């Protein structure tokens, strides 16, 4: 009997190893950082596509691009003869037959390669929503799940001299065990939505680094550099020419080197968004970055930027170019959204509800806008599924690795409006918070909650996650989803953790720009005056909130969300924007701008 048991155990181990080998080798790698500074070849542009709403491409194995071999052969798929789609860019906004597609599109791109000996080659994606299955020359090289973070595959030993063919299966179906899950209030743009690059490196290269101010310091940097492929210890240099600063270090057996240096930095702030040219060197690689230095911390009930209390004048932004009705991705898209935030007198943008493009983060930093970076852990998430908790950790790593050198990012937000009653929600998110702190202890970490109760004009605010958050972040829609129960100026607050800063991360209501004919005291007419009144009352209520460190109206622009089906006023748009999708300022916009002007 014992022999049988051992045999069974061995068989199980072999099956597990096979599955790990299958999944392990086919999972994308967490991407190297600072792609813009690398030796890269862009694969952006026109890609051939096969539209596959029936999901037939898998069993036809379209990535093999079979060709007829004999006179009686024929093949019932081809990229040739089909349409092209622009990469980067969502597919829904490019072809009218794809407008509402939640399904599969197969993309194809060819490139010429002449990789020299001693060089390595990587295929890097800025983001693909939602699942990418990637094939090179007919062979699957891996998959990635998650629509808003970068990933890469090393193809050094898979690429051939001459013409190579990439095929990417993109599927944007919502998934019950996805992140986000089935239900969310934004447009599910699918596609290869950000840049695609081939990156060539030496055998060892600078994969990652962390160069930011030490927590609570105004002059000391505590960081590290991580090499990939280094067989022996290497000398590392961090140079900041403008400060005549050179910091030297040496990597350990894992290619890791700690760095520590001090200087009298010109600190980054909204008023002075100073960025330094920083050169990171090892013995056979060099990358250049633009890095700012600042301190962000919570002290008691205040948020301190560079040691001084700051009021966070924020606005929520979705990653959508309102004028193109498409997923935003470019520097121009970023500037449209961020300039509108600056015009509202903001010093802070909450990039809802997922990591936006690196263009958005870098442009915000240059413009002096602090950034709230958020995982798409939105409402209904299957926290008790172990695959989901694994995905949470992967997405966290991808977000933090890409942006942790961006001093403009001051908040990592790990969830939005999840429900305390969901099985394993508290445990999973508390664990995720600890993992985030281990990855980056220099920034504020928070969860966004809407579990507060509002009764007799009094808020009772409590959630198990608050004790693990640096901020008490509350979404409340008094005046829209819930009528006022008394004078805004007489609102009472019962906050379970009274010694933390409170941030109103969402508030507002809907209005159709130009809708001013209906009764202005009735919500059902989507009048600007009704929305304006919400903002007047909300800004009055803010004075009653203890330890208020900032507010963040939902949201900057009207944006597409198919669940918004009132065909008189919404037409597939969430109309809580302070601006219409054509950039028109609603009456409420002026209330918010004046409130911020007085701050």
Q: Which residues bind ligand GCU (CB under 6 A)?
A: 185, 353, 416-417, 450, 475, 506, 554, 574, 576
Distance CA 378, CA 397 (A): 18
Task: Name the residue nearer to ligand GCU (CB basis): 22 or 524.
Answer: 524
Rounded to a whole number of angstroms, the minimum distance from the CB of residue 569 to ligand GCU is 14
What's the closest the beta carbon of residue 368 comes to ligand GCU, in angstroms? Answer: 26
3-state secondary structure of 85: strand
User: Which residues, including other chains, have CB under 8 Å from residue 135's CB and lie 6 or more apart?
Assistant: 63, 141, 166, 167, 168, 169
Q: Please state, in angstroms and rounded to a whole number, the distance separating the CA atoms of residues 51 and 101.
A: 10
| Cβ 321 to ligand GCU shortest distance, Å | 18
- Min dist CB 352 to ligand GCU, Å, is 6
Sign of the C-alpha dihedral computed for residues 169, 171, 176 and 178 taken in this order: positive
- Residue 397 dihedral angles phi and psi, to the nearest 5°: -60, -45
Nearest residue (CB) to ligand GCU, 325 versus 353: 353
Cis peptide before 88 (omega within 30 of 0): yes
Nearer to ligand GCU, 226 or 416 (CB): 416
Q: C-beta of 350: minimal distance to ligand GCU in Å? A: 10
Please tell me the distance from the alpha carbon of residue 263 to that of residue 442, in angstroms, as a whole number.
Answer: 18
Closer CB to ligand GCU, 207 or 417, in the complex: 417
Q: Which residue is nearest to ligand GCU (CB)?
A: 185
148 or 261: CB nearest ligand GCU: 148
Question: With respect to ligand GCU, which residue has the nearer C-beta, 358 or 506?
Answer: 506
DSSP character at residue 478: B
For the bound state, the minimum distance from the C-beta of residue 576 to ligand GCU, rounded and expressed in Å, comes to 5
Residue 342 Cα distances to 266, 274, 395, 538, angstroms: 22, 17, 29, 21
- Residue 115 beta carbon to ligand GCU: minimum distance, rounded to whole angstroms: 45
Q: How do 502-506 and 472-475 pair as beta strands?
A: parallel
Q: Which CB sits closer to ligand GCU, 213 or 371?
A: 371
CB of 508 to ligand GCU, least distance (A): 8
Check: CB of residue 374 under 8 Å from CB of residue 396.
no
Name which of 353 and 404 has its Cβ closer to ligand GCU.
Answer: 353
Residue with tokens 């980056």: 440
Using CA atoms, how far apart are residues 139 and 144, in angstroms rounded to an integer?
A: 16
Q: Which is nearer to ligand GCU, 357 or 475 (CB)?
A: 475
Count CA within 13 A, CB hemisphere, residue 346. Answer: 28
Sheet holding 308-309, edge to edge: 296-299, 302-305, 308-309
Closest CA to 105 of 122, 84, 124: 84
Give the shortest CB-360-to-ligand GCU separation in angstroms.
18
For residue 433, CA distances in Å to 82, 436, 464, 479 come to 46, 5, 13, 32
Query: Judged by CB, which is closer to ligand GCU: 93, or 574?
Result: 574
CB of 527 to ligand GCU, least distance (A): 17
Sequential DSSP letters for 216-272:
T-SSEEEEEEEEES-SS--EEEEEEGGGTEEEEEE--TTSEEEEEEE-------SS-
């Amino acid at each position: 009997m014992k022999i049988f048991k051992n045999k069974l155990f061995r068989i199980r181990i072999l099956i597990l190893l096979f599955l790990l080998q299958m999944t392990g080798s086919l999972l994308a790698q967490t991407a190297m950082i600072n792609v813009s500074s690398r030796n890269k070849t862009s694969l952006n542009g026109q890609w051939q596509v096969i539209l596959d709403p029936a999901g037939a491409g898998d069993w036809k194995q379209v990535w093999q691009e079979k060709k007829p071999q004999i006179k009686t052969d024929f093949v019932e798929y081809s990229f040739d003869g089909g349409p092209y789609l622009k990469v980067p860019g969502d597919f829904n906004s490019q072809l009218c037959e794809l407008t509402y597609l939640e399904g599969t599109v197969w993309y194809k791109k060819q490139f010429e390669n002449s990789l020299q000996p001693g060089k390595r080659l990587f295929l890097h994606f800025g983001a693909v929503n939602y699942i990418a299955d990637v094939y090179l020359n007919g062979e699957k090289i891996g998959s990635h799940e998650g629509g808003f973070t970068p990933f890469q595959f090393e193809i050094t030993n898979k690429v051939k001299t001459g013409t190579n063919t990439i095929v990417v299966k993109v599927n944007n179906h919502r998934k019950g065990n996805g992140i986000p899950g089935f239900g969310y209030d934004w447009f599910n743009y699918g596609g290869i939505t950000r840049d695609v690059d081939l990156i060539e490196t030496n055998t060892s290269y600078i994969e990652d680094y962390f160069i930011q101010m030490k927590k609570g310091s105004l002059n000391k940097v505590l960081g590290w550099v991580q090499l990939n492929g280094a067989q022996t210890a290497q000398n590392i240099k961090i140079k900041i020419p403008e400060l005549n600063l050179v910091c030297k270090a040496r990597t350990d057996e894992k290619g890791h080197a700690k760095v520590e240096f001090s200087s009298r930095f010109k600190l980054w702030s909204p008023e002075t968004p100073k960025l330094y040219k920083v050169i990171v060197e090892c013995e056979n690689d060099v990358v250049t970055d633009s890095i700012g230095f600042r301190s962000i911390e919570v002290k008691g009930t205040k948020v301190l930027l560079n040691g001084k209390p700051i009021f966070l004048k924020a606005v929520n932004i979705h990653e959508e170019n309102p004028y193109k009705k498409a997923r935003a991705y470019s520097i121009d898209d970023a500037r449209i959204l961020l300039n509108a935030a600056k015009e509202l007198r903001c010093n802070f943008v909450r990039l809802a509800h997922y990591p936006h493009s690196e263009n958005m983060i870098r442009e915000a930093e240059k413009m002096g806008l602090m950034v709230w970076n958020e995982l798409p852990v939105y409402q209904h998430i299957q926290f008790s599924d172990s695959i989901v908790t694994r995905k949470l950790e992967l997405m966290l790593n991808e977000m933090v690795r890409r942006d942790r050198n961006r001093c403009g990012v001051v908040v990592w937000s790990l969830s939005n409006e999840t429900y305390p009653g969901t099985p394993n929600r508290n445990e999973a998110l508390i664990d995720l918070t600890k993992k985030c702190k281990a990855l980056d202890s220099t920034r504020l970490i928070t969860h966004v909650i809407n579990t507060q109760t509002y009764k007799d004009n009094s808020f009772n605010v409590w959630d198990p996650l608050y004790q693990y958050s640096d901020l008490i972040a509350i979404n409340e829609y008094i005046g829209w989803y819930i009528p006022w129960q008394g004078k805004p100026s007489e609102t009472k607050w019962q906050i379970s953790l009274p010694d933390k800063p409170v941030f109103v991360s969402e508030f507002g209501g809907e209005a159709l720009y130009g809708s001013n004919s209906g009764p202005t005291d009735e919500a059902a007419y989507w009048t600007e005056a009704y929305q304006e009144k919400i903002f007047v009352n909300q800004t009055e209520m803010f004075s009653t909130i203890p330890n208020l460190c900032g507010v963040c109206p939902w949201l900057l622009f009207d944006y597409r969300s198919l669940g918004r089906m009132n065909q008189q006023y919404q037409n597939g748009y969430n109309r809580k924007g302070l601006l219409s999708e054509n950039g028109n300022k609603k009456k409420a916009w002026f209330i918010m701008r004046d409130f911020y002007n007085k701050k």
